[in-house]
Amino acid sequence: MNFHLLFVLTFISVLTFPVAYGKNTVTDTAALMKLVKTAALDPVATEAILKLDSAVKKCTEAGFPLGAATALYSQGSKYNDIGEYDKAVKCAEQALPTAAKSGDPSTISFCHNLLGTAYFFKGNYALASSEYFTALDVLKKIDSLNFKAALTIYSNLAALYGRMNQPEKVRNYLETGENIARDKVLTHGNANAQLATLLVSKGNYFERNHSPDSATACYLEVLDILKMPDVAESKRTRLTALALMNIGACALQKGDYSAAAKYAQMGIDLAKGKYAFIVANGSYILGEALRKLKRYKEAESILLGALRLSATQNTKDQLLVGYGTLVNVYKDSRNFEKALIYTDSLQGIKDSLYSIEKEKAIAQFESKYLLAEKNQQLARNELIIEQQKNNNRLTKFWLSAGIAAVSLLSMLFIAYFYFRHQKQQLVISALEQKNTISVLKGVVQGEENERIRLARDLHDGIGGMLSATKMRFMALRHQHKDLNTSPRYMEAMGLLDVMGDEIRKTSHNLMPETLLKQELPEALRNFCNEMKADASLQIDFQSFGNFGELLNDFKLNVYRIVQELLKNVVQHAHATYVVVQLMRLDGYLTLNVEDNGAGFDTEKTSDGIGLQNLRARVSRNNGHITVRSTQGSGTTVLIEFELANTK
């Protein structure tokens, strides 16, 4: 098990402030900013938060938005340190409009970075990447780049891609940041904290690639750098705790479990009461080292305490490591009942944390940032050229821009009327089926109620009895050692495992529990993957947009529609490839399912029970459906829901 989950996500104080702002005098703003910086340096996080709250009020009353924004993101940083990530998000969201009023780009960038870090710790990597790239984009627009802030964001992006297991991007951001930091240390001598931060992330990279000696060398260099006088005390404490803890992780990889326990404990002691995420991660390293040393009771106690801490912070990535280690502790100590309980918890966290959709979202945000940076460079080049041209050239430029704008507007109008026409066609199609659908609605609801009842009976009744049976079989094996070598006994245990998997799969299909815990795209992606494995059918699932705040009944109905469509493809279409596309945009949710199967004559089969049931489900939430198919050319089903009319 890897314990390289600790990445450094830091925040940098504002380096330069305006001499005067609004009606305030130089003395007023200087005094207020000193108040903010003093409060932020308080080593006790809870005390610092109270002082910063007071500073926010004073800066706001004085009409000093730069000071208020600085106090807010400093407060958010403290909340991140103690693991209260929701409060950190709230601080960042309050700080952003205040920072915009101040007109200081660096402060705006810091606020986006803070928000990204809070999302990172919450396990929402898509939103984290969006905020990090926004923060970097803001900095790139400043003539004199704030290199300390940029180095922090490079380190954070490396951490993010490390979690997503994309080593090439990790190495790219680390090398870029480290080169800048080492150059600044040589020329200015004031970037040691940023260099140490990047080296911690570099050590994490080596750990993930199973190079503990190279990683340890990075952490030892960090400890040397932290002796430099330009490193703030708060950063020195945090980075020292990180380095010690990660030296323990490297010792764990090398099999030196006593050293691993020693260094992990040193990191925990240094971070206790200050940095909750270091305490939790250090505890997981310590717990694993104690497990390897066969000190199971101590390991269990340490891990349960760390899991309680991670649960209060809702840090899913930490919970993933903690539950995995605890399961191994119970297996090694032959406590199979508890191992089974925590295995279920572990699987649930895996399902919710990692998904291809999150990787796609990050890639999308990175592409957007890189494109914006490229366009910005092109714009700068064009500006230099334009300054050397005369007014006729300038007039020609604006004329071209005007023509482009008119062309764009024309295209938008055409697209608008096209989609409007498509919507009208969907409405006409739905009205034609109105009489049949009204009869089928009651049938669909009855089927759904019966599915729910059967799912509960399977999961709670038969599934529970099967689990109890399995535990009794395990107890028998401890009482009768000869059963360990009995082929029939082992065959029976294998059958129990298969039965359990089938019951869980059937129960999930009848009443998908993931819909209550995940967003709709994640549940559908899981179902498509299961269908792909069972039917040897290539299914390409795609989703676009934000699918939060959908009613559970509506999500379940959409899930059932996809089930029905894919079942029809498997049973009737003889297709080898299917695209399932889910999109939410401008108050509409659109589902498109297209296969390369045999197709059918829509006029001859429009009254079939399958299509009637499908139309009933769509109508249940006031949706519209269009089916296009010809024999030998596959089938396309387009369904649209106006979310304001769903129930």
For the cut 60, the answer to whether the pLDDT of residue 283 exceeds it is: yes
* pLDDT more than 90, % of the chain: 20
Same domain membership, residue 264 and residue 212: no
* Residue 468 to residue 474: CA distance in whole angstroms: 10
Residue 389 lies in a domain: no
Pick the most confident of 87-96, 342-351, 617-626.
87-96
Same domain membership, residue 35 and residue 155: no
> 243-256: per-residue pLDDT in tens?
999 999 999 999 99
End residue of a domain, out of 74, 103, 132: 103
For the cut 50, the answer to whether the pLDDT of residue 123 exceeds it is: yes
Q: Residue 585 — very low, low, confident or very high, per pLDDT cuts 50/70/90?
A: confident
Q: What is the pLDDT of residue 266?
A: 95
Q: What is the pLDDT of residue 5?
A: 40
β-bridge partners, 301: none
* Residue 577 to residue 594: CA distance in whole angstroms: 9
Residue 43 corresponds to which tokens in the numbers above?
């080593």
Same domain membership, residue 236 and residue 144: yes
CATH of the domain at 536: 3.30.565.10
Residue 422 lies in a domain: no
Residue 607 lies in a domain: yes
Residue 412 lies in a domain: no
pTM of full prediction above 0.85? no
Residue 388 lies in a domain: no
End residue of a domain, out of 68, 103, 138: 103
How many domains does the chain divide into? 5
Residue 11 lies in a domain: no
Same domain membership, residue 361 and residue 237: yes
Residue 411 lies in a domain: no
End residue of a domain, out of 449, 481, 511: 511
Q: What is the pLDDT of residue 255?
A: 93
CATH of the domain at 270: 1.25.40.10
Same domain membership, residue 68 and residue 85: yes
The predicted model gives 269-297 an average pLDDT of 90
Q: What is the pLDDT of residue 297?
A: 92
For the chain, what is the mean pLDDT? Answer: 75
Same domain membership, residue 280 and residue 369: no
Phi, psi of 638 (to 5 degrees): -115, 125
Same domain membership, residue 571 and residue 521: yes
Contact 53, 72 (CB under 8 A): no
Q: What is the pLDDT of residue 344?
A: 64
Same domain membership, residue 635 and residue 645: yes
Same domain membership, residue 491 and residue 611: no
Same domain membership, residue 340 and residue 289: yes
For the cut 70, the answer to whether the pLDDT of residue 60 exceeds it is: yes
Task: Please report, as a single letter, which amino acid is at residue 609.
Answer: I
> 22-59: per-residue pLDDT in tens?
444 444 888 899 899 898 888 788 899 999 999 999 99
Among residues 163, 210, 199, which one has the least CA distance to residue 318? 163
For the cut 50, the answer to whether the pLDDT of residue 6 exceeds it is: no
CATH of the domain at 218: 1.25.40
Q: What is the pLDDT of residue 301?
A: 92
Contact 157, 198 (CB under 8 A): no
Among residues 149, 138, 217, 213, which one has the least CA distance to residue 181? 149
Same domain membership, residue 641 and residue 570: yes
Same domain membership, residue 568 and residue 643: yes
Pick the most confident of 19-28, 351-360, 637-646.
637-646
* Residue 75 to residue 61: CA distance in whole angstroms: 18
Q: What is the pLDDT of residue 291?
A: 93
Contact 72, 114 (CB under 8 A): no
Residue 153 lies in a domain: yes
**3-state DSSP assignment of residue 113:** helix
Q: What is the pLDDT of residue 296?
A: 92
For the cut 60, the answer to whether the pLDDT of residue 420 exceeds it is: no
In order of 66, 72, 434, the CA distances from 26 in angstroms are 13, 21, 73
Domain residue limits at 127: 122-254+356-383
